[in-house]
Amino acid sequence: MKKIKLQELKDSEILEQLEEARKVLRNSRFQYGVARSLENPKIISNTKKKIAKLLTIQRERQLKANPGERKSRVFSRAKRKKKTSRD
């Protein structure tokens, strides 16, 4: 099979690839949890990397379409929920 260049994919194809990668990850994690073995142990980490690449491409396109949009997501400690102490 030809290696797919992710940057050249259309938005709909990226969503399909993302959905497929998430299915593979879910099934691999389930298989590993039940049988404690996988045919290819690197499939989980490789799939997570592929998902990250697809999400990055998706975010880059989103920022190109809306140039006024904020460049990064800010996670402030003040905005996070404070944990309550256990009684």
pTM of the model as a whole: 0.70
- For the stretch 49-84, pLDDT in tens is 999 999 999 998 988 888 777 666 666 665 656 556
Between the alpha carbon of residue 2 and those of residues 5, 34, 52, the distances in Å are: 9, 33, 21
Residues comprising the chain, all counted: 87
Domains of the chain: 10-65 (1.10.287)
Burial class (CB in 10 A: 0-12, 13-18, 19+), 29: middle
Instruction: Tell me which of 15-24, 29-38, 74-83 is least confident.
Output: 74-83
Token pair for 35: 């049988």
Residue type, 58: Q
Location of structure tokens 């920022």 = 63
State the DSSP code for 77: T
